[in-house]
Amino acid sequence: MPLQTVEPQRLYRQIASQLRALITAGEFVAGSRLPAERDLARQLGVSRPSVREALIAMEVEGWVEVRTGSGVYVLDRTAGAGQGGSTRRPQIPADEWGPLELIRARRLVEGEIAAMAATQAGRKHIAAMSKAQASMKSDADRSVLPLEGDRAFHTALADSCANVVLLETVQRFWDSRRGPIFVRLGGYFETVESWRAAIVEHEAILEAVRSHDASSARLAMHQHMDNSHTRFSVSWRKAKKQPEFNR
């Protein structure tokens, strides 16, 4: 038997693979509730955020259902299947980044970008950030998910660094939040209140850039990303049951 090419897998995919195998083997039957995130994390020797990413990926692919305030339940994979006993279900792209892991990477990179912006941003960049902030506020007031303004804010910060690699990196970071796992996770934890908090955090970054205070800009970005990570990591009991935004 010839050797097969070994492909590195993202951690959440490895976790999901193990859980799918257990479901397929009958360890967790349809309708049963999976162990709590903390218990799965302890048994697997991984972090709870990694388990959460895996569970969301499995929900997108139709293996489980997240019931806010209750838990994560195994779905019947045979329900709705055609004559062949299977049905087409969404698949997560192999290169999809985990949302919580992405936020940690953004903290590292964009913290330095914010510090650099504080020393290099010109009037046009600060004006672009201010315009983005106004857009976010307007959208939040209308219960519209303020993603375009958010993207514009972080893009303007990176653009002020006059480095196309940093600019394109930030754009790719941000555009990754449109992936199916991030969208599904956001559907549970992005609320008008959480976005208003993010807008206030942006204001702190912008003020530090205006003041040419690199240390404060870096710290403000770190706090923004840390808070974002926390917002997506809270207990499922705090997840919303109904959409708050026009998506």
The tens digit of pLDDT for each residue in 3-22 reads: 555 455 789 999 999 999 99
Per-residue model confidence (pLDDT) at position 121: 97
Residue 55: partners with Cβ closer than 8 Å, 6 or more residues away: 16, 19, 34, 37, 64, 66, 72
Whole-number Cα distances in Å, 115 to 112, 134, 151:
5, 22, 18
61 or 2, which is more confident? 61
Burial class (CB in 10 A: 0-12, 13-18, 19+), 37: buried
Q: Which CATH architecture has domain 11-74?
A: Orthogonal Bundle (1.10)
Given pLDDT bands bounded at 50, 70 and 90, which one contains residue 85?
very low
Given pLDDT bands bounded at 50, 70 and 90, which one contains residue 98?
very high
Q: Is 228 within 8 Å of 103 (Cβ atoms)? A: yes
What pTM, to 2 d.p., does this model score? Answer: 0.88
Whole-number Cα distances in Å, 75 to 65, 81, 174, 205:
7, 13, 32, 43
The residue-averaged pLDDT of 225-245 equals 85
Does the fold of domain 99-238 match that of domain 11-74? no
The residue-averaged pLDDT of 128-157 equals 96
Domain range list for the chain: 11-74, 99-238
Q: The tokens of 8 are what?
A: 């590195």
Given pLDDT bands bounded at 50, 70 and 90, which one contains residue 32?
very high
Given pLDDT bands bounded at 50, 70 and 90, which one contains residue 169?
very high
The residue-averaged pLDDT of 199-212 equals 98
77 or 245, which is more confident? 77
Q: Which CATH architecture has domain 99-238?
A: Up-down Bundle (1.20)
Q: What is the rounded distance in angstroms from the CA atom of residue 87 to the CA atom of residue 157?
A: 45
Per-residue model confidence (pLDDT) at position 87: 58
Per-residue model confidence (pLDDT) at position 214: 98
Per-residue model confidence (pLDDT) at position 8: 55
Per-residue model confidence (pLDDT) at position 244: 75
Given pLDDT bands bounded at 50, 70 and 90, which one contains residue 195?
very high
Given pLDDT bands bounded at 50, 70 and 90, which one contains residue 106?
very high
The residue-averaged pLDDT of 78-85 equals 57
